[in-house]
Amino acid sequence: MTKAAATTTSIAELLPADTPAIGVTCVRANGWEGGLTAAERAFAWATGFTGKAGSLAFLPAADGNLGRVLFGLGDPDAPGADALAAGRLPGLLPVGAYRLDGAPDPALAALAWLLGSYHFARYRKGESAKACLVAPEGIDGPEVRRIAAAVAMGRDLVNTPANDLGPAEIEAAARALAGRHGAAVTVVQGADLERDFPLIQAVGAAATRAPRLIDLSWGPEDAPRVTLVGKGVAFDTGGLDIKPSSAMLLMKKDMGGAAVALAVADMAMGAGLAIRLRVLVPAVENAVAGNAFRPGDVLRSRAGLTVEIGNTDAEGRLILADALALADAEAPDLILDFSTLTGAARTALGPDLPAFFTEDDALAQEVATAGQRAVDPVWRMPLHQPYAAMLDSKVADLNNVSNGPFAGAITAALFLRRFAPKTKRHGHFDLYGWNPSSKPGRPEGGEVQTARLAYALLKARYGG
């Protein structure tokens, strides 16, 4: 029986603007005393407050209750300053209602607050009461709340362990999302999957939980077509090229690309963007059994290209290849694919900065702008065509891995590009999907990196 995909998500409320609240005044390190009474200045000085980034001063009211909170921004214009600094506050303030004053970007500060209030509560009960924020004047409160809720939904999926989140539960999450927005979902599995999507079937064949392709669609048929593709490997053992135990510890997050695609879809549908949206999620578990695909096997893809298996632990690109072939068949205006694909990208850029690939320079600039606007950064890496020769095979059209240790993220991106040749506006995101440690607005654990960027991109391109 399929277990419920829903989890107990917990993010703070965004309260109506007329809610009585305690003021949280955001101040710089220089000149923070301005606007305070003499008594407030004296009290803040006595506590050692300097306006350092992340510092707090709790100032009493005349009746002895909490009157105001000072929140230090340091120098928000300095290199390395965290634009999501307000995401610290839910974990620092007592339970109550608060109003932010002086934030450089009130909408971003409100979003950071909600993102920072997230905790995953499916298996361990936490405090339900929270420091809640009154919506800053002039912001689009419902929009901020929708984005935060979509991120929380995606984080929940990544954080859920594989015993409770397999291919069927990923499907259930997609169907629940479709139900909220009036979208349609079709699922291909069994004999139809084996016939039409042979790479997806091969990767998932050894698991006791059946592989499938989830296909969600929404919006008017005559609108610009946007297709999101998300890697949905519920757990990755590496297959017969099995991972060491240390490398398996976080493999519940190998469906992070699917979580990103669903989170972006949630934001886009909630905003009513003028697009024909399609979301494709190949959902599998890469397991070990007698019928597992093997190193040296040659598999035929949906696109007709034959693929020699150089390593069964490079399974993500195989399932994405079949999904991209389906996406490319209708030549959409834009394809974005998301995946926790290569360790090479993490070696090059670390866990916080996903790699981004595209042949389209205009799209690359739009992505960079959207990432900066959403404080969801990526770094463009080259689709260096001479490296495609590293994927040559003597027995098939191409190998699923390169013939050496170099440029792993680039060769993976070049592999995927072979399966979507018609769509020139194609962006590939190679992400980590996890916060190794807590930062403002980004608690340790599952993260839908690039989701807010992708939504900002779609909103800028297609409007509401």
- What is the pairing mode between strands 434-435 and 445-446? antiparallel
Catalytic residue among 52, 175, 243, 300: 243
At 58 the three-state DSSP class reads: strand
- Asked if 347 and 275 count as a contact pair (C-beta separation under 8 A), the reply is no
Listed in sequence order, the DSSP H helices in 249-360 are 256-271, 316-329, 343-349
Token representation of residue 463: 């409007």
For residue 461, indicate whether it is catalytic. no
For residue 243, indicate whether it is catalytic. yes
SS3 content of the chain, % helix, strand, coil (to 5): 35, 20, 45
Contacts of residue 274, Cβ cutoff 8 Å, sequence gap at least 6: 219, 223, 224, 462, 463, 464
Token representation of residue 311: 């390593």
**CA angle, residues 8, 10, 12, in degrees to nearest 5:** 160
How far lies 390's CA from each of 314, 398, 412, in Å? 15, 9, 10
Q: How far apart are CA 365 and CA 362, in angstroms?
A: 5
b (16+ CB within 10 A) / e for 309-329: bbebbbbbbbbbbbbbbbbbe
Catalytic residue among 155, 231, 276, 317: 317
- Asked if 317 and 430 count as a contact pair (C-beta separation under 8 A), the reply is no
Task: Enumerate the active-site residues.
Answer: 243, 317
